[in-house]
A and B are shown apart, each in its own frame.
Chain A
Amino acid sequence: MSHSEKAKQFNGDFNHTTWHDESLWFVREKRDKAVYGVPEFQQLRTLASQIKDHTLSNLDNYLIEFEHNANGNGIQVHWAIDADEHNRIILDIIRLSNSKNIVKSKSMLTEECHLNPFLQKHGVEVVDTDLGERIIQFRDEPPSHIVLPAIHLKKEDVGETFHKHLGTPKGENDPQRLTEAARQHLRQKFVTADVAITGANFAIAETGSIVVCTNEGNADLGVNFAKVHIASMGIEKVIPKWYHLSIFTRLLARSATGQPITTYTSHFTKPRKGAAMHIVIVDNGRANQLGREDFRSSLKCIRCGACMNTCPVYRRSGGHTYNFTVPGPIGSILAPNIDLKKYSSLPFASTLCGSCSDVCPVKIDIHTQLYKWRQIMGKENALPPLKKISMVMTAKILASTKVYNRLGKLARFILRVSPHWLTHATFLNPWAKARELPVPPKESFKTWYEINRASK
């Protein structure tokens, strides 16, 4: 189903759409407040963007440097070309360590690779420990947002889920008490975990360290009890220097939630005594995107989610309408790299308003790339055939003064003489479902000009 069809379903519930829009706008407003409070914020965006541009232009060497330093720190580094290889590496580590209890903090990469279902298929259960992720894991749903995975759910939905899975009283919908129930439930998982899987927000080439940012503390609780830590990271997560973290940690949480910094910003350089640490470096299409000149800057993304919160389309259609691990504007420029046809409707799920590019902490020109993906769709026959034909026809009309003048007159005439029920028939004209058409005037400006000006 295309984005527009799913979005139509979403908009079937007017009040729910209002609620979803306002929940995310609230986050956008918190972000604004935090950003306005840092006078050099725009300068930080520029620096972050330049550091990322630089890193991408030397990515192979930085990955080698990172691997070298991580190895020196006693970390085992693995390389995965695709999701399947990533999943197999992790399964092997789990099996070799003879582990039963696996906890995982939030990692969009493991979502992208569908790690949980893969491990489950091989008899390994993983417990997601981020509260939002745990909620949707109980419900067997994908996340609808990369920072707020359960933003599509109301507290009543969570109450019902926890009643079913955690035995909270029926009708208990208080976020404080529901969170407390999850706390008690997950603490048992943390202290008994054998393996902790995390993502990585940043990987530092200079030191071989990774940085993981959370608000709940679930990544640290998992890793610091488990005997094995596995961190999955995309190739684009590497940054050159330790000091560069100062730029990114100032940008990330402010852009994401309006906090000045995440509650926990954790730096893992060496495993603790008696424990092992693995890092899986994953490509899964990223190197290919690196080769697309117009789209490579999408790899600068630090996964803050600000473009989702600000996107007027995302807010009024929800993350699930995108049908891709990373929804919203950034997802819409990442997805076509993976599968052009399957995700062909995503670059069109935008008005190209440009708000995404203006909130992006690393200055990715998201809306420009949406426009460029559209052109590729147009060239590679990924548009709905009717749309393509009508566009080619329109272009023919508009390239000729005579045809344009004549057809313009004709169209206005038809609209003028046709009854309202016909011009506003919704099966012919989707515009008319919620909107009136303008009343066509008798004469165009051109005709007016000819009569009133040109001849004088």
Chain B
Amino acid sequence: MKVGLFIPCYVDQFYPQVAIATLEVLEKFGAQVHFPASQTCCGQPMANSGCEHDSINVYKHFVQCFREFDYIVTPSGSCAHHIIKHYNIVEQTEVVKHIRANTFELVSFLRTILKVEKMDISFPHQVGLHLSCHGQRGLRSSNASEITPDRDGEMLRLLKTITDIRLTQLDRNDECCGFGGTFCVAEEAVSARMGIDRIRDHIKNGTEVLTGGDMSCLMQLDGIIKRQQLPIKVMHIAEILNGQKP
């Protein structure tokens, strides 16, 4: 099984430690991981801004970089969602179809393909899980409160198997963080307010470590935590699964 590691552009540039953790976790569970050095971005930032047609070359570049893998794995539900759902505007060659059908967010890949049931690690902290919308509702990797009261999902199940972990029960389990790509600057006021409200929920309910599957949401939330100097440490879920300490 040949796994192509896709590291989203902003993770590559700003959060290399998250990419390293992703790589190491995949290797720990026996995946043969390759990182094509020519990769850049999935094209989502432009597409969400209404310019998907200007991004076709970015899509094509991505397809070129990842054409030879059985699976493409990325530490981002949002980027995986974009490739799976929105690469419908380029010609649907066999390669494109294969890529769209075999791209996975990290935890989803660990559970569905590598069949990881349990984590043999300890994490004695109270963890608040931020469910990123594109993974949760877009890829249906977690239940949505609009549909069922059962708070369940791939990330939660895996986190629950970690020794000594305590999980935060949020008042609003799956409200958006307010990042939203260029929304975070175009609608600065609402975006910031959404982030502030998410953090308040975590503070109120005792989160010590805030985690999630998307560094973009976590960047938004961390930006508020740092500005307000709040006692919450932010870690991508790959870092926790990789056995790292806060």
Contact status B180-A378, CB under 8 Å? no
Give the residues in chain A near B189, CB-CB below 8 Å: 4, 7-8, 10-11
Across chains A and B, the number of contacting residue pairs, with CB separation under 8 Å, is 223
* Interface residue from A32, A411, A453 paired with B145 (Cβ < 8 Å): A32
In the complex the two chains form, what is the Cα distance from A350 to B106 in whole Å?
A: 26
Contact status B176-A431, CB under 8 Å? no
* Interface residue from B12, B57, B188, B190 paired with A317 (Cβ < 8 Å): B190
Minimum CB–CB distance for B46 against chain A, Å: 5
Instruction: Mark contacts of A428-442 with chain B using CB atoms, 8 A cut-off: 1 yes-contact digit, 0 otherwise.
Output: 011101111110110
Give the residues in chain A near B137, CB-CB below 8 Å: 353-355, 357-358
Given A310-B146, A394-B46, A398-B58: A348 and B183 interface contact (C-beta under 8 Å): yes
Contact status B175-A431, CB under 8 Å? no
B167 at interface (Cβ–Cβ under 8 A)? no
* Chain A interface residues toward B at CB < 8 A: 3-4, 7-8, 10-11, 17, 21, 25, 32, 35-36, 42, 310, 312-313, 316-317, 347-355, 357-359, 371, 374-379, 383, 387-388, 391-392, 394-401, 404, 408, 411-412, 429-431, 433-438, 440-441, 443-446, 448-450, 453-454
Contact status A351-B38, CB under 8 Å? no
Minimum CB–CB distance for A380 against chain B, Å: 10
In the complex the two chains form, what is the Cα distance from A388 to B50 in whole Å?
A: 8
Contact status A431-B185, CB under 8 Å? yes
In the complex the two chains form, what is the Cα distance from A349 to B187 in whole Å?
A: 7
* Chain B interface residues toward A at CB < 8 A: 7, 9, 11-17, 19-20, 23, 35, 37-41, 43, 45-55, 57-58, 60-61, 86, 133-134, 137-138, 144-149, 172, 174-176, 178-197, 219-220, 222-224, 226-227
Minimum CB–CB distance for B84 against chain A, Å: 13
* Interface residue from B9, B54, B186, B222 paired with A392 (Cβ < 8 Å): B54
In the complex the two chains form, what is the Cα distance from A7 to B51 in whole Å?
A: 24
Contact status B176-A312, CB under 8 Å? yes
Give the residues in chain B near A379, CB-CB below 8 Å: 53
Contact status A4-B223, CB under 8 Å? no
Given A392-B51, A395-B43, A431-B188: A354 and B227 interface contact (C-beta under 8 Å): no
In the complex the two chains form, what is the Cα distance from A279 to B62 in whole Å?
A: 56
In the complex the two chains form, what is the Cα distance from A351 to B134 in whole Å?
A: 10
Minimum CB–CB distance for B3 against chain A, Å: 14
Give the residues in chain B near A383, CB-CB below 8 Å: 49-51
Given A3-B187, A394-B45, A436-B223: A404 and B40 interface contact (C-beta under 8 Å): yes
In the complex the two chains form, what is the Cα distance from A21 to B198 in whole Å?
A: 12
Given contacts A4-B187, A352-B134, A412-B13, 20 further A-B contacts (CB under 8 A): A4-B188, A7-B189, A17-B193, A312-B175, A316-B197, A348-B49, A350-B180, A351-B180, A371-B48, A394-B45, A394-B46, A399-B40, A401-B38, A401-B39, A441-B14, A444-B12, A445-B7, A446-B7, A449-B23, A449-B35
Minimum CB–CB distance for A386 against chain B, Å: 11
Residue of A nearest to B38 (CB): A401
Contact status B220-A435, CB under 8 Å? yes
In the complex the two chains form, what is the Cα distance from A444 to B19 in whole Å?
A: 10
Contact status B190-A7, CB under 8 Å? yes
Given A42-B147, A358-B137: A375 and B195 interface contact (C-beta under 8 Å): no
* Interface residue from B14, B15, B53, B134 paired with A375 (Cβ < 8 Å): B53
